[in-house]
């Protein structure tokens, strides 16, 4: 009887899914994609391998779901009265996503995979991080044009690519960390000079 009470309760549903996703991100960050196995994830999540294969047919599907479920969502930036304030909030949200647990796992993943195998994960990053950031940038620029703190016509230009491109470059090529002064530097020295008259 004592053994029955000592045995951990069996997890199901969202609790089990969360444990599986946590184990997946831990394995990605510590060992990389090549060393991640369904067996290893099952063991770390304290569940059976069959529980994983009932939900995901491959480790690619598992990794994508784990990243998607834990990556902070991008939402539209509200009207804060100035393009600068809105850019600061956008960049801070972008940095939050890249510095999150899922961001760390994505960094390990993208730095390890060769071009062909990385395609599905690159598409995920574009869809879940880059495109929403570009959409939010367009909104900031359109509001700025209407207020007069952004020059006319800039909302439809390549400027919408600048912030995501700079952030992804710093994140991918410069070690995956973005320091506390990065937001102000990017906004004040790059973005605002590009968009003001």
Are the CB atoms for 128 and 68 separated by under 8 Å?
yes
Superfamily of the domain at 73-195: Tetracycline Repressor, domain 2 (1.10.357.10)
Q: What are phi and psi of 153, to 5 degrees?
A: 90, -10
Residue 133, pLDDT above cutoff 80? yes
Q: Nearest 5°: CA angle at 89, between 187 and 170?
A: 55
pLDDT, position 4: 42
Q: What is the pLDDT of residue 105?
A: 87
Judged by average pLDDT, the poorest of 28-32, 110-114, 141-145 is 110-114
Among candidate residues 71, 72, 62, 56, the one with its CA nearest the CA of residue 23: 62
- Average pLDDT for 110-121: 74
- Second CATH level (architecture) for the domain 2-69: Orthogonal Bundle (1.10)
Tokens of 176: 């995956």
pLDDT of res. 5: 43
pLDDT computed for residue 27 by the predictor: 93
Q: What is the mean pLDDT of residues 8-27?
A: 83
Long-range contacts of 185-191 (CB under 8 A, 24+ apart): 186/91, 187/84, 187/87, 187/88, 187/91, 188/84, 190/162, 190/166, 191/87, 191/159, 191/162, 191/163
What token pair was written down for 134?
A: 């570009």
| pLDDT tens column, 53-76 | 999 999 999 999 999 998 877 777
- pTM as predicted: 0.79
Tokens representing 89 are: 């909030």
pLDDT in tens, 138-180: 999 999 999 999 999 888 878 899 988 888 888 777 765 677 7
15 has pLDDT over 60: yes
Q: Per-domain residue ranges for the chain?
A: 2-69, 73-195
Q: Is the pLDDT of residue 6 over 50?
A: no
């Amino acid at each position: 009887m004592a053994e029955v009470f000592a045995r951990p309760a069996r997890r199901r549903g969202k609790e089990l899914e969360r444990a599986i996703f946590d184990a997946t991100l831990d394995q990605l960050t510590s060992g990389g994609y090549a060393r991640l196995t369904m067996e290893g994830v099952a063991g770390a999540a304290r569940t059976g391998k069959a529980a994983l294969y009932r939900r995901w047919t491959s480790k690619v599907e598992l990794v994508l779901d784990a990243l998607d479920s834990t990556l902070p969502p991008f939402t539209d930036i509200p009207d804060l009265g100035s393009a600068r304030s809105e850019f600061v909030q956008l960049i801070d949200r972008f940095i939050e996503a890249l510095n999150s647990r899922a961001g760390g796992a994505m960094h390990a993943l993208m730095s390890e995979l060769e071009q062909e195998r990385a395609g599905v994960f690159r598409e995920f990053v574009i869809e879940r991080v880059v495109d929403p950031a570009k959409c939010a940038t367009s909104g900031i620029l359109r509001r700025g044009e209407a207020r007069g703190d952004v020059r006319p016509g800039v909302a439809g230009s390549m400027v919408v690519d600048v912030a995501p491109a700079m952030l992804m470059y710093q994140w991918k090529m410069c070690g995956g960390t973005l320091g506390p002064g990065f937001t102000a530097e990017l906004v004040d020295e790059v973005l605002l000079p590009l968009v003001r008259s």
